Structures are given as structure tokens and as C-alpha cells.
Amino acid sequence: MHTHALVLFSGGQDSATALAWALDRYTRVETIGFDYGQRHRVELDCRTQFLDKLRASFPQWAERLGDDHLLDLGLLGQVSDTALTAERAIDFNASGLPNTFVPGRNLIFFTFAAAVAYRRGLSVLVGGMCETDYSGYPDCRDDTLKSLQVTLGLGLDQRVVIETPLMWLDKAQTWQLAHRLGGDALVALITEETHTCYLGDRHTRHAWGYGCGTCPACELRARGHARYAASNG
């Protein structure tokens, strides 16, 4: 019944893994990304590169992988003043949230994704959100997204399923999932072509990919990869 999916694909490690999960599971998969004035456009560039190379390296998935939709959500810049959209240092506010936090961002993304999915005849929305992540974004939590699934289904008057395959995985387990889905080739593709670093560094290559190596996002990715490599080697 629910065989057609739309994946929220940012160009990062988590959403890339979620995309592979969806391609393994659904007969038709489309992708959606959001341009909201990210300080560095490298993530958006990584999206295109990753999709091109995924198609080339995994012909069985290329057959299922349909259109990519990129929506301009530049107006988000008007409601956020954070390290994602302005030149400010990465630090943490009193609630423990990094100032890269765009309030309620995923609620907005999923709502736009649901509208596109409705038009495209896709009943499943897939995202790489994860509650075990250090950052504690409240709009990434399982309860938030389950509640949103119900709301979107009511508002569109048709069943909407939100799937978040990484919700309870840590970063090492996310690498393991990628390996289970696409072997060393997928792990290599995610390492090389996805982007995590808050500072937009695509020059310094580590075992886990490109990044400054010191921002919170790089540290998380590096730690997860080290534990994955230790358990696989």
C-alpha cells in the first residue's frame, strides 16, 4: 500500500543513509531539499553530487530513484539569526541547544514535503532525524514526528506515514546501517560525498570525510565513524 516515498535529503550523512534505506524498501523514491540561505552552500552541492554518484554506482536503486525537488525557503532567514544563516560562532545557549537551531525547522520542512508528496502521489515521508543525537532538537524527536504524522494526515485527508529509520541509532550504528544496505561502496560514497561540518569545510579530508574536525557536528561524525571502524576492523 505505502510503496512510494519522498525522502527529506539535505546532503548530510543521516539523510543520505535514510535515502538508501528508502531505496531498499520502496518501489518509487523521490527526494526533496530546502534552500533556506544556509551559510555554506556546500551541503546543497553535495546533494546533487551524491544523487548523481548514487545513480551511477547502484543501478538497482537508480531504477527506483525519481525526481529531486529543491524548494526555496529563503524566508526562513527572516525568522532565524543563527550560525546556520549568519556568520556567528557556534556556541550553546542556556537550554543546551546550539545556536544553529532554527526553531521548528523540521515541522516546516515536513509540511512542505507533505504538500509535494500529495501532488506526486507519495504517501511516505522519510527523514534522517535522530533522537540519540547530541543536539536535542525538539522537532527531531519521535513524539514530535508521530504527532505531525497524525496532523498532516488529518490536514490532507489522506494517510501520511512518516518513517525515521535512524531515530534510535547512534552514529556508529548509522554507519553500520549504511554498510548493511550498500556495503563498502555506500559507506565510501557517504564518506566522500555527504557533508556535516557546520563551518562548511570541504578541504580537510579525514577518515570519516571532509570537515573542520572541531565543530560539534564534525566531532559527532568523527566519534561515530571511529567506533564503527573499530567494530568493523
Interface residues toward Zn ion, by CB under 5 A:
197, 199, 211-212, 215, 218
CB 70 within 8 A of CB 33: yes
Minimum distance from residue 102 beta carbon to Zn ion (Å): 18
Minimum distance from residue 232 beta carbon to Zn ion (Å): 24
Match 567506533 to its residue by C-alpha cell. Answer: 227
Instruction: Pick between residue 27 and residue 214 the one whose CB is nearest to Zn ion.
Output: 214
Instruction: Pick between residue 54 and residue 83 the one whose CB is nearest to Zn ion.
Output: 83
CB 31 within 8 A of CB 6: yes
Minimum distance from residue 44 beta carbon to Zn ion (Å): 17
Q: How far apart are CA 197 and CA 135, in angstroms?
A: 14
Instruction: Pick between residue 73 and residue 199 the one whose CB is nearest to Zn ion.
Output: 199
Instruction: Pick between residue 40 and residue 179 the one whose CB is nearest to Zn ion.
Output: 40
Minimum distance from residue 98 beta carbon to Zn ion (Å): 12
Residue closest to 168 by CA, chosen among 206, 140, 203: 140
Count of helix runs (H) and strand runs (E) in the chain: 7, 7
Q: Judge residue 221's burial from the number of C-beta atoms within 10 Å of its C-beta, 0-12 exposed, 13-18 middle, 19 or more buried.
A: buried
